Structure formats: structure tokens, C-alpha cells
Amino acid sequence: MSGRREERLVANLMIALGSDHAAFEFKEAIKAYLLEKGYQVHDLGTCGADRVDYCDFGFRVGEAVAGGACEKGIVFCGTGVGISISANKVKGVRAVVCSEPYSAKLSRQHNDTNVLALGARVVGIELAKMIVDVWLDAQFEGGRHLDRINKIAEYEGRR
Ligand code: RB5
């Protein structure tokens, strides 16, 4: 892919961001990193260090992605666990919490994850940037993996 085309694709990608208080600074650092790389971000909060409930921000980001306002979402809390569980409650969201790049890559290739969760108290910021890069670059492979995604969606639709 030529550099110019890649730049255009990156610029078109809108990423929703959300965190609780425990990961506020972390979200800000990743936001700056994404903006520097040419991504567009939709920051859905939180906006400071005041105590909040991670679930509210997981739901917000999940809805932005499932509703089509943003192509992907990245969420943050202390461990990444609570906010990933919350995002996964939104119909159409496939969120993964990652602390290493291998699962991040495979979660895109095989599971077509649309939300990435990171734990600000688990991974360092440089590792988090690497995980974000790998996750954003990897493409869903479709095929047999699509059948499984469809099976999950069918189950979700029945509930
Ligand atoms: C907040 O203290 C903490 O519980 C939250 O950030 C997260 O780790 C929950 O899963």
C-alpha cells in the first residue's frame, strides 16, 4: 500500500476513547499518540481524576462503535477488565482486554474485535502503544472465523 493511501485510511478512521479515573492520564497519553499518528479520536471521557464508574464509559464507547459513529473503540481502566466487560454488554461489541501484542493481533484476525481494552495499572505506556499499533493494523481474516462471529451474533440476537 502506498504511503499516501495509508495516510488517508488512517485519517478516516474514527476511534472512540473512554476511561475511568484510574486510567485518565493513560487515556490522555494514548489519545495524544493516536492524534500524532493521524487518527481521529472521539473522546467520551472521563475528563479528570474524579472517581467515576468504569461501566458508564464502557457503555458509551460500546454504543459509539456498535451504533456506527466510530469504527473502533479503545477503553481503559485500572486492569482493563471492568471496562471491557461493560463494553461487551453492548450488542454488536466484541471487546478484548490485552496486555501483550499477540492476543491483540489475533483478536483482530480471528475475532474481529472492535474494542480494545487496556489496563493502566497492568501495562506500561510504551507496551500499550505497541499493542494499540498491532491491534489497529491487523485485519479480520473472515472465512471460518466469520462463521463463528455470526454464531455469536445470532446468540446475542436471541437474548
Ligand atoms: C478502579 O479502582 C478500578 O476498580 C477500575 O479501574 C478497574 O480496574 C476495574 O476493572
pLDDT digit string (tens) for 35-74?
A: 999 999 999 999 999 999 999 999 999 999 999 999 999 9
Number of domains composing the chain: 1
pLDDT tens for residues 130-151? 999 999 999 999 999 999 999 9
Residue 30 domain boundaries: 3-158
Share of the chain above pLDDT 90, in %: 91
Give the residue, 3 or 73, on which the prediction is more confident. Answer: 73
Q: How far is the CA of 16 from the centre of ligand 1 (A)?
A: 19
**Could you tell me the CATH number of the domain that includes residue 111?**
3.40.1400.10
Quick one: which atom of ligand 1 is closest to the CA of 22? 6
Given a contact cutoff of 8 angstroms between Cβ atoms, the answer to whether 70 and 82 are in contact is no
Would you state the pLDDT for residue 1? Answer: 44
The pLDDT value recorded for residue 159 is: 58
The number of the ligand 1 atom at minimal distance from the alpha carbon of 119 is 8
Closest CA to 113 of 124, 100, 98: 98
